A and B are shown apart, each in its own frame.
Chain A
Amino acid sequence: MAKMSYNRKANLQRIALLTPGVLLFGIFNFLPLVALLGLSLVDWPGVGSADFVGLENFRKLALEPYYRDQFVNALVQNIWMFVLIIGSMLLLGSLLALLLSFGTNGRGAYRAIYFLPYPLAGAAVAFLLDLMVQPRGAINTFFVKTLGWWDAPIGFLGDTDLALPTLAMFYAWHRMSFAIVLILSAIVGVRVILLEAAMLDGASRWRMLKAVVFPVLAPAFVLITVIVMVDVFNNADYTLLLMGPEAGPLRSTDVLGTFLFRTSFGGSATSVNVNFGMAAAIGLVTAILILPAALFLALKNLRKD
């Protein structure tokens, strides 16, 4: 057998290492995506025959007010929800990670407390926090009855302006430790010699953070942003669990995930136009909308490394 060149061997190794991942990704992610493309071209209630309708689902989504208005509303609210979540996760996450990095007394205990919610199931977190914000829940009882600061309980999830931010805070609370861990490990990764050099140059603490620590944090920020973005635009567990597929009050918590769910399985018992094809179209359009942003951020991250 002819002796393999080093390059050939290296290439074979690469292929061998990549194949399992590509196969898994292909079977469970890529093929369904292609199938989704086919599904988006039919009108199908999930039983019986599917009617081929071409691009009709996409046309309806773009032009028919019934679908278009819901889509635009869900998209705008989804973006707003994402901004609220990522803003609070990065700001509070950085703050808490910084505090943990300072060698505060009992930081091990703090870290454990911050990490506690993360392993909980989304449904458990949803119902737990729902108990907190209900009109007869802990927060309202505390402010109305114990302190007497509020005259009447605030209906957090019943107010069209407050409901979505409340759900966003549920999400941020649940995943905060994920941000803290990533940011903290980045902070820990800051080389001490750089900090010492800065200190010798007489830099203030803020100046050190700005010039030495934050540049190291950027990749962690990007990673958190991409992962949270993909999750927030594709899932709708909190809204579905607490507000139902109708995403009340008055659709004020509707996001792309609930719109998709409602279209494929129906919102109420009287939904007759359930259409898996339309739901597939919504899924595809969502994917296309977030793909550029996700790619841009991911590639930017790669280049820096």
Chain B
Amino acid sequence: MTATTGKLVLAGLMASFAVEAAAQEITLYSWREQEIPLWEHISENNLVDGVTINFVRIPADNYDTKLRIDLQDGGPDMFQGRAGAAWLKSFVEAGIVAPLDPSIDLSALAPATLTAGQGADGTQYGVPFAVQMESILYNKGVFEANGIEEPKTLDELNAAAEKLKAAGVTPFSFGGRSGWWLNQVVGEVMTAGLVDDATAQGLIDGSVCFTDPAFVQTLATVKGWMDAGYMNAAPLADDYGAMRTAVALGEAAMMIDGAWSSGPSSPMYEIDPNLEIGFMPVPGENGKVYAFGDGSYLANANTEHAEAVNKVLAFTTTKEFAELFAAKVGELPVYGGDYAIEDPRLAEIAGLVANNSAAATPFFAYALNSGEPSYGQLVADGYQELLNGSITPEDLAAKIQAGLNSWGYAGAANCQ
């Protein structure tokens, strides 16, 4: 401890002394293999002054189990958490995760990503990492072959779908068998495209009800596509993989998906190595894409190296880290300002996220998901009912509202 304190005092005066001080090693647990080169680079080049990071990668399947067991006996100094308050809850309650040190400034990060590291009450516990973007992904080759420009309005989108249908191409590929995709991707992308940010925020805090016409329109639009024959024949029988296969093969033109499907390791390129994927929001009234932080870096509240951990956390908020992250990990960093990206695909995604992403993320909002049935659950079930043809958009909206009311969410009193 004395060494650390002394080092801090000296650091401001004479940087050279700090470098000479013995480097501290801290341990960081993660399930993300793709971050190994990033952290090796940081340690080797001493980018966080006087701190080396021992990056321990644990396979995703038993990450939670291994982390929880190790934490009972000290555990790592830092670890990565999955996005959202639901995951953080039990760690916060067990006293393992404490609010983020006030010295760490998150103001440079994209605001919509912050919820990844926030608790139920909005307290910031971790520094988010990796932005994922969700939008309409389309097969550029199919659009070109049918002479279609990227639609800018819903009418243009429907006209394009009509043209594709006439040409024997499925306009929208839906993988409705995958419930996680319905709530985490379809529900959110439709909301980002059709519901203006203020109304979407109102849905989360309960001042706007889910029976609001703007939200009903998100459901009605999907149902409209199905009724018009713009979807694959049995949208509930295809799963997420089948959905992507159809687009990669060019049998379908568009799908609602995450930008991760366009990443270098996407299986879609195994089907067509020359596949080119374009991105666009659902071109409705809001016309935005959906972006969220994939998870957060967390400090172990019981670590003996708190200062070193906070230095690392502070470094992850910088522009320098963002550029390294894009280059070494190949994913979009959470940094909000301008930074250099070489990969044109990442640059396009970055542009959309920075300039045109929705502010509200209902799927990750604790207020909508702290009871059962949660919003995520209701949306996944609801879209399946919708695609099954057994409910109208209006009735579904009412059902989602009633489900949330049943455990007294924030808007229960307002939306009876």
Footprint of B on A, CB under 8 Å? Answer: 45-49, 66, 134-136, 152-160, 242-244, 246, 248-251, 267-273
A272 touches B179 (CB 8 A): no
Q: Are A269's CB and B236's CB within 8 A?
A: no
Q: Which of B83, B237, B239, B390 contacts A156 (CB 8 A)?
A: B237
In the complex, A267 Cα to B238 Cα: how many Å? Answer: 19
Task: Decide yes or no whether B126 CB sits under 8 A from chain A.
Answer: no
Considering the complex, which residues of chain B in the window 290-306 have a beta carbon less than 8 Å from any beta carbon of chain A?
none
Q: List 28 A-B contacts (CB under 8 A).
A: A47-B90, A136-B246, A152-B233, A154-B234, A155-B237, A157-B237, A248-B236, A249-B236, A249-B388, A250-B384, A250-B388, A250-B390, A267-B179, A268-B180, A268-B184, A268-B374, A269-B84, A269-B86, A269-B184, A269-B376, A270-B84, A270-B364, A270-B369, A271-B376, A272-B89, A272-B369, A272-B371, A273-B371
**A-binding residues in B (CB < 8 A):** 64, 68, 71, 82-84, 86, 89-91, 93-94, 176-180, 183-184, 232-239, 242, 245-246, 363-364, 366, 369-377, 380-381, 384-385, 387-388, 390, 406
Q: Determine how close the nearest CB of chain B comes to the CB of A165; give it in whole angstroms.
A: 14
Is the pair B68, A243 in contact by a Cβ cutoff of 8 Å?
Answer: no
Task: Add 15 more A-B contacts to A269-B86, A269-B180 (CB < 8 A).
Answer: A45-B89, A135-B234, A154-B234, A155-B233, A157-B177, A158-B177, A246-B180, A246-B381, A248-B380, A248-B384, A268-B183, A269-B84, A270-B84, A270-B375, A272-B89
Residues of A within 8 A of B184 (CB): 268-269
Taking a contact as CB atoms under 8 Å apart, the answer to whether B374 and A271 are in contact is: yes
Determine if A271 and B235 form an interchain contact, defined as CB atoms under 8 angstroms apart: no
Q: A271-B377, A272-B369 are in contact. Are A48 and B94 (CB under 8 A)?
A: yes
A152–B243 Cα gap in the complex (Å)? 17
Determine if B86 and A272 form an interchain contact, defined as CB atoms under 8 angstroms apart. yes
Min CB distance, A72 to chain B, in Å? Answer: 16
Distance in angstroms between the alpha carbons of A47 and B97 in the assembled complex: 13
Q: Is the CB of A250 within 8 A of B385?
A: yes
- In the bound complex, do residue B84 and residue A155 qualify as a contact, i.e. CB atoms below 8 Å apart? no
CB distance from A59 to the nearest CB of B (A): 16
In contact, A158 and B176 (Cβ under 8 angstroms): yes
Known: A250-B384, A268-B376. A155 touches B236 (CB 8 A): yes
- Please give the distance in Å from A113's CB to the nearest CB on chain B: 29
Known: A157-B237, A271-B86. Contact between A135 and B242, CB under 8 A?
Answer: yes
Please determine whether B91 and A268 come into contact, CB atoms closer than 8 angstroms.
Answer: no
Give B294 Cβ to nearest chain A Cβ, in Å.
11
Tell me the bound Cα distance from A153 to B387 in angstroms. 16
B384 to A: closest C-beta gap in Å? 5
Give Cα A251 to B382, complex, Å.
11
By a CB distance below 8 angstroms, the chain B residues around A271 are 86, 372, 374, 376-377
Write out the residue numbers on chain A whose beta carbons fall within 8 Å of the beta carbon of B375: 270
Instruction: Specify which of A49, A136, A268, A272 is in contact with B380 (CB 8 Å cutoff).
Output: A268
Residue of B nearest to A154 (CB): B234
A250 to B364 alpha-carbon distance, docked (Å): 22
Provide the bound-state CA to CA distance between A271 and B179, in Å.
13
What separation, in Å, do the CA atoms of A294 and B240 have in the docked complex? 39
Is the Cβ of B242 less than 8 Å from the Cβ of A134? Answer: yes
Give A108 Cβ to nearest chain B Cβ, in Å: 38
Pick the 8 closest A-B CB pairs, nearest first: A155-B237, A155-B234, A158-B237, A270-B376, A158-B236, A48-B94, A246-B179, A270-B369
Most chain A CB within a 10 A radius of its CB, from B84, B91, B234:
B234
Query: Which chain A residues border B176 with CB–CB below 8 Å?
Result: 158, 248-249
Which B residues are CB-close (under 8 A) to A46? 64, 68, 90
- Which residue of B237, B238, B381 is within 8 Å of A159 (Cβ)? B237
